[in-house]
Amino acid sequence: MSRALAFLTRRRGHGGRWHWTDVVTWVWLLGGTVLMFGPALWLVASSFKGPAQLAEFPPTLLPYAQIAVPVAGHDAPLPLYEVTGPDGTTRQLAEIRRIGTNAQMVDPAEPGTRLDVDIAARRPVREVGLALDNYVRPLVANDFLRFLWNSVFVTVTATLITLLTNSMAAFALSKYRFRGRDAVMLLIVATLMVPLSVILVPLYSVVNATGLVDTLWGVILPTVATPTGVFLLRQYMLTIPDELLEAARMDHASEWQIYWRIVLPLAAPALAVLAIFSVVWRWNDFLWPLIVLSRRETYTLQVGLNTYAGELNVQWHYILAMTVVTMIPVVLVFVFLQRFITTGIAGAGIK
C-alpha cells in the first residue's frame, strides 16, 4: 500500500520535497477523475439496470435485482424480503402475494406457516444483477452490424476528407498572402455563428436538391467543410515559422511538397486534435443524420439507438445500453490518437 502510494505521489522532483504546484496538480487530477469519470461510470452501471430500476428513487449506484428463493409448494421462486418484526428483530421472508397494504409471507424454512405482514415493515433483499437484456435485445432485434458499418463508413470518410480539405485551406489561409484572404477567413469564421439546428430546413432543401437524401454522402458532405477545423488548423499553422518554407523553396520543393512534407508533419498535433474531434463528432452526430436518413439500411448507430425515443415514453434502458456500446470505438480511437499530440513540434525538429 505504501509503495503504491509512493508510486502515485512520485513527481518530477527537487529532492523529494513537495512544491505547492504538485499538491494542486494531484488535487486537481484526483478530484477531476471523480468528477469526470464518476457520472460516466454511473452511466455504464445504469445501462445494466432494468426499466423499473432506472426509474427508481432514490437511485442505487449498482444495478440490483431482488433475490427470489424457491419455496416448497410454490412453482415459481418467491421474492425475498427482510421483515422487521414489532419487537425490532429482522428475519428474511418470502412473499407469496400482496393484498393492499398487507403481504402474505412465508419463511422459506417452514413453508407451512403463512404470516401476515404490513408492507411498511418489509424491505426487498437484493443482490447485484445485470439486466443484460438491455444489450441483447437491441443487438438482436436491430440491424446492428449494418448500422455499425454505416457509422464506420461515415466517420472514416468524413474524417479523411475533413483533414485533407481543411488542412489545405488552412495552409492557404495561413501561409499565402493573396487578395481576399481576410474576406475568406471572415466568411469561414462567420459561418461558425449559426448552429446547425437553426438552418436545418434550408440545408435539407440543398441536400434534397443534390439528390443526397437517404444516402450516407448526404450525412458526410455537409459536415466536412467544418469551419471549426479550418480555424483550428490555421491558428496552429500560423505558429510554424515561414523560414522553414522559404528554405524548402530554395531547394526547389513545389508548393504541394511544402504542404505535404513540411507543413502537415509539423501540424501533426493539431491534426491529431482535429482527427479526434472529427471522429467523435461524426460518430456522435445525431440531429443531422436523423433528418437525412429515414430508411433503415442507411441508419447510423446514433439514429438506430434513437428509435427507442417515442412520443410519450422513452425506453432509456435500451438507449443507455446502446450508448455504452457506441462509446467503445471512440474511446479506442482516442487512446490511439492522443499519443500523437505528445510528439509535438518540439520533437519534430524545428529548433
Partner 1 sequence: MAARLPGLGAVVAAPLVLLARAVDPPLRWWQRVAGQGGMAAVFLLPNLAIFGVFVLVPLALNLVYSTTAGTGILLGGRSFVGAAQYARLLECGDYLDALTCREDMFWTATANTFVFVVFQVTTMVAVATITALILNREIRGRGFFRAVFFFPVLLSPVVVGLIWRWILQRQGLLNLIMVSLGLDPEVWLNDRTYAFAATIGVSVWAHMGFYTLILLAGLQAIPKDLYEAAEMDGTPPARVFRRITLPLLGPNLAVVLVLALIRGVQIFDEVYVLTGGGPGTSTLYLTQYIYEVGFASVLRNPGLAAAASILMGLVLVVLTLCQLRLSRRGAARDAK
Partner 2 sequence: MGTMVTGTMVRGRGWLLAAALAGLGPAAWAQEATELRMMWYSDGIEGEVMADLLARFEAENPGIDVVLDNVAYQVIQEQLPIQLASGQGPDVARVTNLKEQAEHWLDLRPHLEDPAYWEENFGDRLDWMRPDGSDAIPGFLTQLTLVGGFANKTLFDQAGVAIPGPDATWDEWVEASRQVAEDQGLPAAFAIDRSGHRISGPIASYGGNYIGADGMPAPIDDGTMAFVTRLVEWTEAGLQLPDTWVSAAGTTYRSGADDFINAQIPFLYSGSWQVANLSTKIGDAFDWVAIGSPCGPEGCSGLAGGAALVGIKYTEHPEEVARLMAFLAREEIVKEFSERTLFLPAHAGLVAGGGLAFRSEDPNVPPALDRFVEASGETVAMADALPAWKWANAYYGVLVTRISQAMAGEITLEQARELMDRDIADAVANAGQ
User: Cβ of residue 136: shortest distance to partner 1, in angstroms?
Assistant: 21
Q: Is 26 in the site for partner 2 (CB under 8 A)?
A: no
Which residues inside 107-126 make contact with partner 2, applying CB under 8 A? Answer: 119-120
Q: Is 41 in the site for partner 2 (CB under 8 A)?
A: no
The residue (of 96 and 220) whose beta carbon lies closer to partner 1 is 220
User: Cβ of residue 119: shortest distance to partner 2, in angstroms?
Assistant: 7
Which residues inside 74-113 make contact with partner 1, applying CB under 8 A? Answer: none
Of the listed pieces 89-97, 146-154, 173-181, 292-300, which binds partner 1 according to CB under 8 A?
173-181
Residue 93 and residue 116: Cα distance in Å, rounded? Answer: 11
Asked if residues 317 and 134 have their Cβ atoms less than 8 Å apart, the reply is: yes
The residue (of 9 and 102) whose beta carbon lies closer to partner 2 is 102
The residue (of 93 and 264) whose beta carbon lies closer to partner 1 is 264
Binding track, positions 207-246, relative to partner 2; x by CB under 8 A: -x----x---------------------------------
| 72 interface partner picked from partner 2, partner 1, none, CB below 5 to 8 A per type | none
Q: Is 173 in the site for partner 1 (CB under 8 A)?
A: yes
The residue (of 79 and 289) whose beta carbon lies closer to partner 1 is 289
| 291 interface partner picked from partner 1, partner 2, none, CB below 5 to 8 A per type | partner 2
Backbone angles phi, psi at 117, to 5 degrees: -130, 135
Q: What angle do CA 196, 199, 205 make, to 5 degrees?
A: 120
**How many positions of this chain bind partner 1 (CB under 8 A)?**
110
**Nine-digit cell string for 205:** 432543401
Q: Exactly one of 3, 87, 176, 295 binds partner 1 (CB under 8 A); which one?
A: 176
Q: Is 104 in the site for partner 2 (CB under 8 A)?
A: no
Largest Cα separation within the chain, whole Å, is 99
User: Cβ of residue 334: shortest distance to partner 1, in angstroms?
Assistant: 6
Which residues inside 257-316 make contact with partner 1, applying CB under 8 A? Answer: 257, 259-260, 264-265, 268-270, 272-273, 276-277, 280, 284, 286-287, 302, 316
Q: Is 243 in the site for partner 1 (CB under 8 A)?
A: no
Up-side HSE of residue 197: CA atoms within 13 Å toward CB? 3
| 176 interface partner picked from partner 1, partner 2, none, CB below 5 to 8 A per type | partner 1
List of residues 6+ apart from 344 with CB closer than 8 A: 268, 269
Amino acid identity of residue 161, one-letter, is I
- Binding residues for partner 2, rule: CB under 8 A, are 51-52, 55-57, 79, 98, 100-101, 119-120, 140-143, 145-146, 200-201, 204-205, 208, 213, 290-291, 294-297, 303, 306-313, 315
